[in-house]
Amino acid sequence: MASTIPSIQFFTGISEELSNVSLRRNSSGKRIVLMMFNRLKAIEGLNSFTKQSLNSMLLTDEEGNINVTPSSVKFIFGGAEGDELQRVECKIEIERDDHWERFMRFMHRYAEANGMAYGES
């Protein structure tokens, strides 16, 4: 799969734009990835009501596909009426080293293709 543009999809054919990502390690050594989206195209197109829920993600790059099942998906609302979607937080837990290395290769490609840069918090 040469020169595939890296993408993140909750629903087939709808690529989402990652706003931020946080990489952590918990006390037991498990790696935690928190992916944040300021908007979801799938929701804006009402696709979330006609297709499956946000219980899986497809990460695609030149190496192929990674199917990810988030451990949690959190919708954050705000605005004057409290009904405006501010962001969606998708938490992923990765235990195996080979899965972590593959995820990081994807993230580097995704970041490069989308003008994102790594920074310490």
Q: Are 48 and 42 in contact (CB under 8 A)?
A: yes
Q: How far apart are CA 110 and CA 116, in angstroms?
A: 8
List, run by run, the mean pLDDT of 10-residue segments along the chain (121 residues): 82 92 90 94 63 76 95 90 89 95 96 84 60
The pLDDT value recorded for residue 48 is 47
Ordered structural domains, the chain, with CATH? 7-113 (2.40.30.220)
pLDDT at res. 53: 59
Separation CA 92–CA 33 (nearest Å): 5
| Contact between residue 30 and residue 93 where contact means Cβ atoms under 8 Å apart | yes
